[in-house]
Chains A and B, each alone.
Chain A
Amino acid sequence: METTMETQQQAETLLQPWRERMQAPEQNRIYVSIRPDELLDAVRALHDARWGYLSTISGIDPSGEDGEMEALYHFCSGPTVVTLRVALSREHPATPSVCAIIPSASIQERELIEMFGIDVVNTPDRSLLYLPDDWPEEIYPLRRDFDAAELVKREPRVTKPAEAEGETFVVPIGPQHPALKEPAHFEFTLDGEIVTGASVRLGYAHRGIERATQNMNWTQNLYLLERVCGICSHIHAQAYCLGVEHLAGVEVPARARVIREIVAGLERIHSHLLWFGVAAHEAGFDTLFMYSWRDRETVMDLLEEISGNRVNYSINVLGGVKYDITPELTEKVYKGIEFLDERVRHYLNVSTKDTMFLQRTRGIGVMTKEQAEELGALGPTARASGVLRDIRVDAPYGAYLDFPIEPVVATAGDLETRFIIRLEEIRATIVMIREMLENLPEGELTTRMPRRVKAGETISRVEAPRGELFYYIRSAGGETPERIKIRTPTILNLGTVIVSAVGHQFADMPMILAGVDPCFSCNDRAVAVRSADGDSQKWSWERLRQYGIERYR
């Protein structure tokens, strides 16, 4: 607990000039209200002292009469979150760009511009990140006065494809490409086989989930948020539950807490094995890909035994969990993870000894500790570069308070290390699951949860398989949330790819991309088709329905 106090005190000292406007509603949470013109000073104070990393920027446009627009800059260091609140006028919301201090903030500032229409002064890139290319100007989906009907009436925006500069050879990867099973668009500029530049465009699976949460009640949102990601569905639901339960002041029974983490552990194993297979495939080692995905079925089966589902396990409810782990199930889980432990040991052997495979991983895509810290790398990507960032260790939540885990860290920072880290993490998770099953507390699975959640705001951080998952939840005291901001780990890890890609062989790109275990669809939370003449095919619900009926007649 000593380090806990340290980071909080450090932050308080660093933000001394704004002491009067500082609030600490609970331990490890500091909110500082500042004016836009003071923002850069505050950010610089934190950055120069190397205090934590910029976790996310979230905008908010509350519905109340007196509510004012705000941009919240969340900085995290260990267990402490410092939130700089910048109040903005609704007539002309403007805030300075922090990119001069933190270059990787660019992606988040692009989001702020397109979602809220906040003028981020001096930001290097104003192009759309998530929204379709023909999204009408001056329509901001997360503003409280957003009206979908208005959207259809407006003229589509005309975006001209960027003119190629001189003799550049640009290779597009995605959104439909065999290398990426996920919808993202990368453009790599090549000189021969060497990459000289890289850029990213997201949003091909943008589903407007953050906006949708504002129209659904607290329980409905659980099922919506579970569908943010198809690989780590549980962890999204859990982050949401933890936050809402915290806001409502509900204490979850001990047994439910442990069951949540057992499922989270199984999910981590499944996610890492999936990644392992994909990464092997990117390197052209299909035999390893086939074997690891065969073994992954074991953990999928276990999850199905527990919850009845393979992908969206839907084990969480607000105030506890739905399914119990019976003694018979416990036996099955033991057996399954024992088998997996043996297999993972074999895979570790392959990924550290196979000479051909090492040619594609050792010393490739190296990210130094300094870079990882600077760019805000998260999860296994950061831990492979010697930066210990693991919310389960830094700010234990749920069952991790009773079952402390041993983090896996290495320093080399290349692809090989990322393989080792993730495989070792599977083994550590297996140990953790065994310990939790042996000491599964008796008791209830759920507790009563009120329909309305007390007004307030909270930050919920959990460790997803890919790194820190950040939820900002605000309630106005009603049946629906006022604002939910989701920041998936991929968005920060992506910044590391764009930086480390330059100078590498093009053949290494799929591997380097896969190295951070990207999950773009979770990032993208109405898809329109991009075409050369700037026109898009927008289909109304009726037309889509009619098409479906005729297609399958």
Chain B
Amino acid sequence: MNTILSLGAILIFPSGLFLLFNGILYEWLDKKILARQQNRVGPRWFQPLADVTKLMVKEEIVPTGVNATLFNLLPIVAVAGPLTAALYMPVGGIGPLLSFQGDLIVTVYLLSLLTISMGLAGANTGSRFSLLGATRTLTQLFSYEAPFMLALLGPAIAAGSWQISEINEYAGSHLLLLREPIGFVIAIIGLAGKLELPPFDAPEAETEIVAGAMTEYSGRGLALFHLGRSAELVLGLTLIAAFYLGGVASPLAYLMKTLVLLLGLAGFQALMTRLRIDQTVGLWWRYGSLAVLVQWLALFALDMSRGGIFS
């Protein structure tokens, strides 16, 4: 019985099918909103699903000169990372399935698996576009990762716990968006960086390096990377909604809050010019990190005035 439940959790909900379909749907919404803002019609609702289905049945070409094992393994890792992370998250507004003290840190690392596999996948092929893309992907990872993580740790400090479920509960009674506005902004911009959305799409700037690290991928591998990214979009939105927008205690709250964030994210993309990789790095280290440190100082000051460290 227990085995069946576990399998269900992995394959159907909250991980597995639910997350993937949720991701595909949110990806469509993101594309549609962006298209409407750009004065285009945009895709129909099943377009991303059709893309993935089509890619799945297409032939996968393994280019010469690559390590074939790595080439086939990395897309699986890329999709496994977010799917595993989902088990520790209140996806769909229903409390996390698994929970332990410090699962926030594990989750953040699991979410980075996608980017790291993409970087490795690009570096694995001999294509010059892939190599440049991989370099940029990893460079970008090192620039946004620290501020993004610090921005997620802000609420953890406020809640006095490193456990996602507890922070979610704490956030339900405290609207942390008002207490840590800078952290919220950094978190949402960090998510755009993580998903390589404009203006942080230098790693896959099509006008320079075609599809960046993904250039040599086709068929199943490309579809898996695609799914991994869609899942990551959902998880990122869930995490930020849970931490900053008053928690996600019910499916309705989950839907409303993540959609509001998605709307913001799509609007953000429409307004931006792509930054060069050096500009991205400069922006994160010069302003992003500083801003989040200021946020932390403010938190400490607030905490001290109430007497005590993380009371």
Chain B proximity of A518: nearest CB distance (Å):
14
Chain B proximity of A512: nearest CB distance (Å):
11
Range of interface residues on A (Cβ < 8 Å)? 20 to 34
Is B132 in contact with A506, judged by CB distance below 8 angstroms? yes
Chain B CB count within 10 A is highest, among A177, A357, A507, A510, for A507
Which residue of the partner chain, among B40, B207, B271, B278, contacts A282 with CB atoms under 8 Å?
B207
Which residue of the partner chain, among B132, B201, B206, B274, contacts A360 with CB atoms under 8 Å?
B274
Bound CA–CA A101/B52 (angstroms): 58
Is A291 in contact with B38, judged by CB distance below 8 angstroms? yes
Is A286 in contact with B208, judged by CB distance below 8 angstroms? no
Which residue of the partner chain, among A171, A179, A284, A359, contacts B201 with CB atoms under 8 Å?
A284
Bound CA–CA A234/B93 (angstroms): 62
Q: What mask results when residues 297 to 335 of chain A are scored 1 for a CB within 8 Å of chain B, else 0?
A: 000000000000000000000000000000000000000
Is B198 in contact with A284, judged by CB distance below 8 angstroms? yes
Is B273 in contact with A359, judged by CB distance below 8 angstroms? yes
Is B128 in contact with A169, judged by CB distance below 8 angstroms? yes
Q: Does A338 have its Cβ within 8 Å of any Cβ on chain B?
A: no
With a CB–CB cut-off of 8 A, which chain A residues contact B199?
284, 356
The total number of A-B Cβ pairs within 8 Å is 74
Given contacts A172-B128, A179-B207, contact A507 B202 (CB under 8 A): yes
Q: Does A170 have its Cβ within 8 Å of any Cβ on chain B?
A: yes
Chain B proximity of A415: nearest CB distance (Å):
12
Bound CA–CA A171/B207 (angstroms): 13
With a CB–CB cut-off of 8 A, which chain A residues contact B202?
507
With a CB–CB cut-off of 8 A, which chain A residues contact B272?
284-285, 356
Bound CA–CA A360/B208 (angstroms): 14
Is B39 in contact with A291, judged by CB distance below 8 angstroms? yes
Bound CA–CA A286/B205 (angstroms): 12
Chain A proximity of B41: nearest CB distance (Å):
11
Which residue of the partner chain, among A169, A357, A510, contacts B207 with CB atoms under 8 Å?
A510
Q: What mask results when residues 11 to 48 of chain B are scored 1 for a CB within 8 Å of chain A, else 0?
A: 00000000000000000000000000111100000000
Is B273 in contact with A283, judged by CB distance below 8 angstroms? yes
Q: What mask results when residues 489 to 522 of chain A are scored 1 for a CB within 8 Å of chain B, else 0?
A: 0000000000000000111111000000000000
CB nearest neighbor in B for A290? B38
Q: Does B275 have its Cβ within 8 Å of any Cβ on chain A?
A: yes
Given contacts A170-B128, A171-B129, A290-B39, contact A505 B278 (CB under 8 A): yes
CB nearest neighbor in A for B198? A284
Q: Does B279 have its Cβ within 8 Å of any Cβ on chain A?
A: yes
Q: Does A178 have its Cβ within 8 Å of any Cβ on chain B?
A: yes
Q: Does B270 have its Cβ within 8 Å of any Cβ on chain A?
A: yes
Chain B proximity of A503: nearest CB distance (Å):
14
Q: Does B61 have its Cβ within 8 Å of any Cβ on chain A?
A: no
CB nearest neighbor in A for B282? A359
Chain A proximity of B195: nearest CB distance (Å):
15
CB nearest neighbor in B for A510? B207
Is B39 in contact with A171, judged by CB distance below 8 angstroms? no
With a CB–CB cut-off of 8 A, which chain B residues contact A510?
207-208
With a CB–CB cut-off of 8 A, which chain B residues contact A193?
132, 277-278
Q: Does B297 have its Cβ within 8 Å of any Cβ on chain A?
A: no
With a CB–CB cut-off of 8 A, which chain B residues contact A356?
199, 271-273, 275
CB nearest neighbor in A for B274? A284
Which residue of the partner chain, among B38, B39, B201, B276, contacts A505 with CB atoms under 8 Å?
B276
With a CB–CB cut-off of 8 A, which chain B residues contact A284?
198-199, 201, 205, 207, 272-274
Q: A171-B129, A359-B273, A360-B276 are in contact. List 15 more A-B contacts (CB 8 A).
A: A172-B128, A178-B210, A179-B208, A190-B132, A281-B207, A282-B207, A284-B201, A284-B272, A284-B273, A285-B274, A287-B37, A287-B38, A290-B39, A356-B272, A359-B275
A residues neighboring B (CB under 8 Å): 169-172, 177-179, 190, 193, 280-287, 290-291, 294, 354, 356-357, 359-360, 505-510
24 A-B pairs within 8 Å (CB atoms) are namely A170-B128, A178-B207, A179-B206, A179-B207, A179-B208, A193-B132, A282-B207, A284-B198, A284-B199, A284-B272, A285-B274, A286-B38, A287-B38, A287-B271, A290-B40, A291-B39, A294-B39, A359-B275, A360-B274, A360-B275, A505-B276, A506-B208, A507-B205, A509-B208
